[in-house]
Every structure is written in structure tokens, then in C-alpha cells.
Structure 1
Amino acid sequence: MAPRLASISVDLDSLPHYCRIHGLPESLLDARARGLVYTTAVPRLRELLAQVGVPGTLFAIGEDVAGDARAAGVLREAHAAGVEVASHSFSHDYALTRRTPDAIREDLRRADEVLEAATGARPEGFRAPGYTLNAALYAATVERGYRYGSSAFPATPYYAAKAAVMGALAMLRRPSRAVLDSPRVLLAPRTPYWPDPARPYTRGQGAVLELPMTVVPGVRFPFIGTFVTTLPLPAVEAAYRACQGDVFFNLELHAVDVLDAEDGIPPELVRQQRDLRVPAARKLERLRTVFQWLRADRDVVTLRDAALQLAPTV
């Protein structure tokens, strides 16, 4: 019988990436705001994981760590404490899948180089910028020798909302730099699978195991950090219970899920990124509740260890 596992992962997207999503100038951010993910968010997340007694996986962006001794030190300390550090690409280019195969390979290589220099260990997992995957990017993950990928996000409401926001920003002549994925992602498996290398949102015989983010069965509502921290608790609990039949629960967060306006984030960005209006203390308490649910119901492991245990069963 397959083990019942859960993993908690955090995308360490720094605030400039949110300016790019919302079509805002990065000049809004001072040096302190640009560094909030590593100076403030990661310590809060590590403290929360330690309090609940569960491990975690951090998806770091090479560009944010390269040349930043403080960020590299934060990752080094996290790795030494047992936190997995995985790759979220080097440039976090939302259009990475539209680049040439050589450019994609080089981006992943640079990320691995920076993260290995910071932690002393080469990343074993990868998450695509904007969750967008295609054959060329999947081939690059195989070439890099990753044990797993965690990019598939078959969440219908999320896809529709993203399309609507991108359309509205285009009409305002403030275009987002995000990229809308192929609609094929909406039919991707909800549970871990070996992808078809030519069509990575379908099952096949690929060499890198895919661990999709958890979405609620049927409606495919995304069970991610924004949902957990902003919706009424009864709705979160109902969605959680609906996923109880899944062998694997993959809870994905972002660093901003533990930040708020009081951390020194420009009001222009807070107006666009509405979850930043929720006090960080309240968000941390909600995350603590959900982490405790996972710990009570499942074995909580890093994504690397989940891949190791699930691979023989998929």
C-alpha cells in the first residue's frame, strides 16, 4: 500500500517578480523591500516549520541569490537545518518555455551552479516559473538529472482568474510579464505521474517524476497558500477534507504568504497583491493550523523524499 504523504514547499519569489506580474515599475522597491524574502519571510517560515515539527522545501531563484551573500547564507543555514533547497530557475523568466532549448538549459545550469555554491548540494527538484511547462523545459530537467519536478498546476479557477487579470492589465496598457500556460494544463493529472516527454501534461515514460500542486477533486480549486491564508476557515477545511483520498498532498506557498504591508512593502504593490493586506500574524496562524492538519493525517516529508517514496508506486 502506498504511503500517505504530504509536502510543504515555498516559492521564494522576491518582490520585483510581483511588480513584473502586476505591470508595476520595479523602481517602487527600495533595497530593504527587495530583500524581504530572505531577511524576513524565510526566517518566519523556518520558525513555523520548526514549531509544528515538519520539514519543508524552498524553491530558490538563482538570480536572487547570485552575488547576494546574505541570501546565500540564509539558504546555507536552511539546508544545514534539514530544509531542502530546490531550483526555481535562474531568471524566473515567465516566458522561459518560449526560449530556445539552449537558453533553457543554460538558465537551469546557472541556477544549479548558484544554489550548489550556496548550500554545498546540487538541487534535486525543479519548479517552473509561473508553473509553465513544455517539452523543451521538461527535456532540460531530464538533462540536469533532477529527481522530480513540481510544476503542473491543473487549477481551473486559477487559470481563468489569471487570464482575466492579464487581459485587464493589457487594457490598462500596463501589461503583465506573466505568461498564460497552454489550456492543456487543465487536463493534467492531479496526482504524481511520469510525464510523456513530448507532452509533459500527460502520462508517459519520462525520467523525471512530476508532483503536481494539490487541487480539489472535481472543481480543481487550488489548495495553495493564498487560498489558505485569505478564505474563511470552514471553506479551507472543506477543501482539505475533499482531498483526503489523495495519496499525496502537495501544499505550495509563496514567501509573500508570510509578509504584509507593515513589512515595508510599497502601497502600490499592496493594492494589487491583496493578500498583503492580511496581517502576517493572522496568516502565520492559519498556516500553522493547516500544517498541523497535515502532520496529524500524513507523513510530512520534503518533496525530494516524497519523490523517493512515491516513484516505485506511480
Structure 2
Amino acid sequence: MSSRLASISVDLDSLHHYCRIHGLPETVLDDRARALVYATAVPRFQELLGAVGVPGTFFAIGEDLSDAGAAAALRRAHDAGIEVANHSYAHDYALTRRAPESIREELVRGEEAILAVTGTRPVGFRAPGYTLNAALYAATVERGYLYGSSVFPAAPYYAAKAAVMGALALTGRPSRSVLDSPRVLLAPRTPYRPEPAQPYRRGAGPVLELPMAVTPGVRFPFIGTFATTLPLFGIRAAWLACRGDAFFNFELHAVDVLDETDGIPPELVRQQRDLLVSASRKMQRLETLFRWLKEERDVVTLREAAERLSHSL
């Protein structure tokens, strides 16, 4: 067993959340498009993980599980050994701007929805839009979470997000996403225990934080959107830059295995350009990257990674 760990996690954000990011009306989505994440993406990721022989963690949004088809797909993934963690109840990008009791309710409702489907209470949480603050961290502590995986200290991503949000505002089609505090850019890029009052700093908080993978130095984001679309040699260079890290947290989204032929409306495809890359090509790329992880590291769920890393932190 390798002393170095890796985890693969997938945020199951449905397409209406991308409409909100890009300032599009959700009416552009028909019933098929609304169901795509659980009807198509979840089985594809389950197949991909099974083919490589590695586990994964799915971050589910509680309100989506009121749909019987979505609940059945998530239950099958859970029964296949995939960890299901909490991605909040409604994926409100402004969650950290809400009152503490409202934040707590979002976590509780997300937990209850996942528990009802899988029979297992989630022990991990990822914030909508990767935005963390003291009140949200306190809620994860109160709810007894083992780990959080919300910190994304990627400078290029932060700059690009700010530019896109600014451009959308100028067109009169503002994004419903939220730009995080620039303090996140100084957050640790490796697992740490946060300072509860300032969770982007190291401290002694009980809930372990597992940041998403970014390279040393420039902190280039190693996430699905880039890993499936950029030239392979660039992705290989980013992977090699992270080789010295004890833990590698590869974060993806459900859309990373979807494309325009799956029934995504052209209005959204024009904004989410990675959807122009074929799903088969993206899955081939992801299989390659998953095999890199498997060859050099012990690939585990985020829950197991937190359990093993907590002893040294």
C-alpha cells in the first residue's frame, strides 16, 4: 500500500446551476436536460471508475434527490461502493452570506436527503462554489463532519471567474455565482486543520480540510474542466509538479462526461465551451488520468483519505 494517497470526487451539479452561473434562464432546459446528470453522467462515471478499478466520492445536492430517477441512480452508485457526500440541499452560491441557522438548515436538509436514499449519513461536505467562511465551517463542526473539501486556492481560476462575472454583469446578464474572498488564494494547498474563525488559515479545527488539487507555485487548478480539454502534455506537467504531495484531490463535475449531443441546449453550450468536446474523448482522457493515479498512489474515497490523514494532522 502506497503512503501517498489520491481521491477522485465528482460534484453532481445539475444543468440549471450552470444556467445560473452564466446568467441564462432555466427555461432553456427541457426535461431531458434537467435529468442528464443522474440519467447519463452518474452511470458514465460509475462505469469509468469501475473500469479502472478505483473508488470515488460523489457530492450530491439534496433537492435533486426528490426525483425518483436521480435517487435510484445515486442508490446504485452507493451500492457499488461510491461514497456519497453532502453538497448542500439547494446549492445556493451565496450560502456563506446567510445567517448561521440558515446555513445549518442547508446542511441538515442535504444530509437527510442523502440518508433517505443511501441509508448512510454523509461525513463529508463541499461548499457550493467552493466558498467557505467561519459560519459554514462552524456548521460542519456542529454536525460532526469528518472532513470538508471546499478550499480551492487556484489563482488562475479565481482571476478567470472574476473576469467572467464582470463581463456578464456588463451585458446585463449577471451571474448568480459568488466571488470568494481573496484570502482563499493564500490558503494551504495541502490537507490541514483550519482555524475555525478563519478557515483559510491553519489552526486546530476538528473538521479536516482536503483542498482540491492545485500545482505548487502558480497554483494551476488540476480539475476536470482543464484536465479534459487542455493538451495532455500540459496536464502531465501539472501532474508531475504535484508528485511530491502526500495527497492529490482530483475534483470533477458531472458535465465533465457530457457533451452537446446529450441534449444540452445550444444556449448553454455556447457559454460552457468544454461541452463541445465529445464525451467519449473526455472519458478516454479521464481514464488515462485515473490510471496515472492508480499507478503511483493508493486511490481511496475522501472519507478514507480523511481517516488516514487525520492521524498525522
Q: TM class, shorter-chain normalised?
A: over 0.9
TM-score between the two structures when normalised by the length of structure 2: 0.99
Structure 2 stretches lacking a partner, 5+ long: none
> Is residue 33 of structure 1 aligned with residue 28 of structure 2?
no
Q: Which position in structure 1 is the counterpart of 2:280?
A: 281
Quote the Cα distance in structure 2 between the aligned partners of 1:76 and 1:277: 30
What amino acid sits opposite 1:277 in the alignment? L
Q: Which position in structure 2 is the counterpart of 1:143?
A: 142
What amino acid sits opposite 2:157 in the alignment? Y
Deviations 1:233-286 (A, max 9, x none): 000000000000000000000000000000000000000000000000000000
Specify the SS of the correspondent of 1:216.
coil
Q: Which position in structure 2 is the counterpart of 1:102?
A: 101
Q: Which position in structure 2 is the counterpart of 1:224?
A: 223
Specify the SS of the correspondent of 2:228.
helix
Deviation at 1:3, TM superposition (A): 2.1
Specify the SS of the correspondent of 1:6.
strand
Deviation at 1:24, TM superposition (A): 0.1
Quote the Cα distance in structure 1 between the aligned partners of 2:128 and 2:38: 19
> Is residue 178 of structure 1 aligned with residue 192 of structure 2?
no
Specify the SS of the correspondent of 1:90.
coil
Deviations 1:72-101 (A, max 9, x none): 111111111110000000010000000000
Q: Which position in structure 2 is the counterpart of 1:189?
A: 188
TM-score between the two structures when normalised by the length of structure 1: 0.99
What amino acid sits opposite 2:35 in the alignment? G
Quote the Cα distance in structure 2 between the aligned partners of 1:3 and 1:299: 7
What amino acid sits opposite 1:219 in the alignment? V
Quote the Cα distance in structure 2 between the aligned partners of 1:20 and 1:64: 16
> Is residue 209 of structure 1 aligned with residue 208 of structure 2?
yes
Specify the SS of the correspondent of 1:35.
helix
Deviation at 1:291, TM superposition (A): 0.2
> Structure 1 residue runs of 4+, over 6 Å off?
none
Structure 1 stretches lacking a partner, 5+ long: none
Quote the Cα distance in structure 2 between the aligned partners of 1:312 and 1:121: 24
Aligned 1:119-158 pairs, distance under 5 A: 119-158=118-157
Quote the Cα distance in structure 2 between the aligned partners of 1:31 and 1:115: 23
Q: Which position in structure 1 is the counterpart of 2:57?
A: 57
Deviations 1:199-253 (A, max 9, x none): 0000001010000000010000000001100000000000000000000000000
What amino acid sits opposite 1:23 in the alignment? G
What amino acid sits opposite 2:43 in the alignment? P
Deviation at 1:163, TM superposition (A): 0.1
Q: Which position in structure 2 is the counterpart of 1:115?
A: 114
Percent identity over the alignment? Answer: 74
Q: Which position in structure 1 is the counterpart of 2:242?
A: 243
Quote the Cα distance in structure 2 between the aligned partners of 1:23 and 1:75: 28
Specify the SS of the correspondent of 2:290.
helix
Q: Which position in structure 1 is the counterpart of 2:12?
A: 12
What amino acid sits opposite 2:41 in the alignment? A
Deviation at 1:6, TM superposition (A): 0.1
Quote the Cα distance in structure 2 between the aligned partners of 1:166 and 1:204: 32
Q: Superposition RMSD on alpha carbons, in Å?
A: 0.9
Deviations 1:162-210 (A, max 9, x none): 0000000000000000000000000000000000000000000101000
Specify the SS of the correspondent of 1:202.
strand
> Is residue 256 of structure 1 aligned with residue 255 of structure 2?
yes
Q: Which position in structure 1 is the counterpart of 2:90?
A: 91
Aligned residues: 313
Deviation at 1:70, TM superposition (A): 1.1
